[in-house]
Structure 1
């Protein structure tokens, strides 16, 4: 594993557990020396992503970290593809759908088999994937470009989305759970998700199970307001919300 990807994986683990010890990280990265892990942590601290604590522990900075899209593609790839295929199978002929930012949402585009589908998106990557012959048209909303997330958001985006209605919406999330809801580190992304959820007949959130009970800065909406599509059965959610497992 190259150093950059290893550091992003460390950040992903910290998003799940909030605080970890060096010994915990060494168990995850089998064969990687303690000195290498310490060097990675020093780089992440210098980049202002983590805080060193007494006793060899580290935790995320309070302003929560968003992993770049390019790195997200490398994490939980198999699970994400299964989720994307299931999500695509829910699209019906001639529907107007919204596709959110995120690697899993992007992946679902190529699997859409319904015909005459119209796509509205704030995901820059979707434009490149929308050559699927079953997609009749693809509209990308205006706004501020976040190159790190390859997403468009902000006041202009929100104003546009408030005037649009969708048969189905497919959203991403940085974390989910009964108490933490559907959440994201970015206020603009949270606002966008909230508006789309309110304007959709049916809203699906696509997220692998590693994000269960992960808490980031902003709750976009309650988990009961959507149908979750995830990669594993989660006993804590059984009977409490509507969700699908991609197998």
Structure 2
């Protein structure tokens, strides 16, 4: 997929919690059709960066999406512009069925005829969710809940999906499955910005990556370059 079109541009992003600077002036970009990953230790500022892009926390600097600033844009408007986030901890509605969870994601869409096509697309990527349509979200396994959270982001018709720790707490076999889904989603036209503790899997699937250390970017490169970098191996890939 061509990665020439700049989709997301982050410049000198700063995020503070009281006196603590969580993110200290980072800059990076995501081009259309890419999978870009932010890796780093806990507390490096990765999730805060995604929350800033989603419009749920205040930030300084510049964030532009398709050439338009996101400064002061409310979170629901950002979703309508085409950015969907799958938050850490999934955030699905446990008492609603799988179908109701997916339907909720389409509330602000006008293209009702396209919605059924998206249901089909989602069930092609997640056959397991199709089998569980009438089951309450809360009764699904952890892996299935994560799939539902990703599927819900797709149903909002986002051109770009922000994934926050999608493999967290999942068994290794489900981690493989989630990354298969991320690749499939990307192949079908969704641009992905991925925050992930599992640096090895993230870099294997990403076109490019940025390493965050205590709120600054210490390294960047293609997924392959970072996988082969001695410092990355030492710090994040278990030597």
TM-score (norm 1): 0.31
Q: Which has the larger radius of gyration?
A: 1
> What TM-score results when the alignment is normalised by the length of structure 2?
0.32
Of structures 1 and 2, the one scoring higher in RCO (CA 8 A, sep 6+) is 2
